[in-house]
Amino acid sequence: MQKDKYILITGGAGFIGSHTYVELLNSGYTPVIADDLRNSNRLVLKNLEKITGKTILIAEIDVTDFDKLEKVFEKYNFHGIIHFAAYKAVGESVKEPLKYYENNIGSLVQTLKLAIKFEVESFVFSSSCTVYGAPDDKNEVTEEEVQLLANSPYGQTKIIGELILRDFQKANPNFKMVALRYFNPIGAHPSGLIGEFPIGTPNNLLPYITQTAIGKLNELTVFGDDYNTEDGTCIRDYIHVCDLAKAHVKALEFGEKCENGCLEFINVGTGKGNSVLEIIKQFELLTKLKLNYKIGPRREGDVPAIYANTDKVSGLLNWRTEYTLSDAIEHAWNWEKNLQHEN
């Protein structure tokens, strides 16, 4: 019988982590979640079991707790690590920067310390397009264009995280490390059983739209329509969360092939930008609903327009999107409707 290929996924009960859990199982890995569920919901665990038909392996621990995390490493002979565990609310990070530095940097450092101790040399880091700050007029960013100053403490933790990986890999050249720079993940699993689970009022656009449409929120505010873009609203690269999840599997597979160690930073986006108003119109078209929205002032720290150059992710990881923007919006909406029956 083949030996289990255990993969540790810190923060595996979160939005991207839970979808990656499914894709890992689909690809023959055995994922083990380390997550204290502070930013997620038990329903995710129950539904992951429904989707996969397998009992979930989870350690309900704070990933910054070295001793508890060490016990998880002792229990499983990990083949690789995908490190998601981090806070991600940009606005909150401005108000409580230390909370972000402590958690996001702390969890990365503890995980890497244990990766050395237990010789788990394959590591995927959850980074973000926030490392690009505000791009120039071109708006399409390649991996070389990293800024050393992000727009928020949250963004800084991703830049610092990447710097830590650079230093770490120099000192431990056998490690195979990939930092995936996510653009804007949206959507939900096509089954409608897992999706984004914002605690409190959502910050991100898609959950705000679906919660407004279902009546949980009164009205969506579009943050500014006076940007230098075609319709005046900001442009982002929205990517289906299942496509993004699959990029993690590809990153692990890539790592397995670079025998002498490597460190790569790779954009994961569709390569296409859409404005806020385009997303709203697409939502209205697909659902045949009228969304209650108004135009408001700009949100501080928002970048006018950014989307991914995808040459590296398609060339190096042999990864392509499988879902369209419409799929992503439909799946997010199905998920929102299903959640209604849960409450």
Active site residues: 154
- Give the integer Cα–Cα distance in Å for 307 and 235: 8
Q: Distance (Å, rounded) from C-alpha 302 to C-alpha 306?
A: 10
Q: Select 51 or 202, whichever has its Cβ closest to ligand UD1.
A: 202
CB of 88 to ligand UD1, least distance (A): 4
DSSP state of 57: -
CB of 306 to ligand UD1, least distance (A): 6
Stretch that binds ligand UD1, among 22-30, 95-103, 125-133, 166-174 (CB under 6 A): 125-133
Q: What is the largest CA-CA distance in the chain?
A: 61
In the complex with ligand UD1, the residue whose CB is nearer, 111 or 128, is 128
The answer to whether residues 245 and 16 touch, using CB atoms and an 8 Å cutoff, is yes
Single residue of 27, 172, 191, 203 touching ligand UD1 by CB under 6 A? 203
Site for ligand UD1 contains 302 (CB under 6 A): yes
Rule CB under 6 A: which of 229-258 touch ligand UD1?
234, 236
Nearer to ligand UD1, 61 or 159 (CB): 159
85 binds ligand UD1 (CB under 6 A): no
d(CA 224, CA 299) in angstroms, rounded, equals: 7
All residues at 6 or more sequence positions from 31 whose CB lies less than 8 Å from its CB, including other chains:
6, 7, 8, 9, 12, 20, 21, 24, 25, 57
DSSP state of 126: E
Residue whose CB is less far from ligand UD1, 56 or 303? 303
* Whole-number Å distance between alpha carbons of 19 and 84: 12
Residues 131 and 149: their CA atoms lie apart, in Å, by: 8
- Cα–Cα distance between 8 and 84 in angstroms, integer? 10
The interface with ligand UD1 within residues 142-171 (CB under 6 A) comprises: 151, 155
> What is the total residue count of the chain?
343
Binding mask 4-43 for ligand UD1 (x = CB under 6 A): ----------------------------------------
Question: What number of chain residues touch ligand UD1 (CB under 6 A)?
Answer: 23
Q: Are 124 and 81 in contact (CB under 8 A)?
A: yes
Interface contacts to ligand UD1, rule CB under 6 A: 88, 90, 128-130, 151, 155, 184, 203-205, 208, 220-223, 234, 236, 276, 299, 302-303, 306
